[in-house]
Amino acid sequence: MHGLGLNGYDPDGQQEAAVAFSITVEASEQLIPEHHHRKGQLILALKGAITCEVENARWMVPPHHAMWLPGFVPHSNRATPNAHLYFLFLEEWAVVMPEYCCTLKISPLVRELIMSLASRTPAQRRQPATQRLVQVLFDELPDQPQMQLQLPVSAHPKIRQMVDSMETCPAQRQTLAQWAQVFAMSERNLARLVVKETGLSFRRWRHQMQLILALRLLIGGKSVQRIAQTLGYDSTTAFITMFKKGLGQTPGRYLAALGDR
């Protein structure tokens, strides 16, 4: 991974209201171990995608979306090969942002403002023109819509085992009854555990997991037919129905919309 724009810049050591820089991931997948920042952090995916994990959830950030992380929240990041990412660090007093982690759909205007800020030198950032640009960014950021692209998880070993298995062997699509058998417990007790730990029913939770996996594969260039097979669907039509239910568009339309931005 190598930096662009403000290469080597330490955002946590600065008092500027907003600091931005960009990185391009090398050909292989890049993992950034758990860490945190004093400032709030917005991670914008311009190309490729990034998965962020916090204590109780895993978040998917497709192109032209961003992950918002309040200050001091421990998190780890996993970026897809050749991803191009922008990082925006914000002081808490500068702009009103959510007090919780979330995925935001970033408008073309906000995207261009972040890119412009990242390209400026420290001397340029002190100029009135840049300050006016930053103020427009602060006016626009709170209005970016939130997207439901998270998978609730927890440290519970049974939940972790299911997540790891679903990621490693997504075609198995094990039912609640099959998982209950694996854990030698009743379906009712396992269903209660999933709701307690994730806030979702097992069916909704598994659907969200498959949606995130589908997005990762789609952005990675896999065909719809290949993704349907990988996720264990009996037909491409069944997979498209699942995808449309979760994101309101077919995979083809979703991908085309990303390319148009």
Q: pLDDT (tens digit, 9 = 90+) per residue, 155-206?
A: 899 999 999 999 899 998 899 999 999 999 999 999 999 999 999 999 999 9
On whether the CB atoms of residues 41 and 89 are closer than 8 A, the answer is yes
CA distances from 107 to 187, 212, 224, 242 (A): 44, 21, 26, 26
Minimum mean pLDDT among 15-29, 53-67, 128-142, 203-217: which range?
15-29
CB atoms within 10 A of CB 137: 23
Residue whose token pair is 């050909």? 27
Cα separation, 114 vs 141, in Å, equals 10
Fold of 2-147: Jelly Rolls (2.60.120)
Cβ partners under 8 Å of residue 259, min gap 6: none
Q: pLDDT (tens digit, 9 = 90+) per residue, 28-81?
A: 777 889 999 999 999 999 988 888 999 889 898 888 899 999 999 999 998 888
Identify the pLDDT of residue 261: 58
Identify the pLDDT of residue 260: 60
Helices (H), the chain: 108-118, 122-125, 128-140, 157-168, 176-182, 187-198, 202-219, 224-230, 236-247, 251-260
pLDDT band for 126, please (50, 70, 90 cuts).
confident
Answer yes or no: same fold for 2-147 and 153-260: no
Could you tell me which of 153, 152, 137, 167 has the C-alpha nearest to residue 66?
A: 137
Spans of all domains in the chain: 2-147, 153-260
The CATH code of domain 153-260 reads: 1.10.10.60
Confidence (pTM) = 0.81
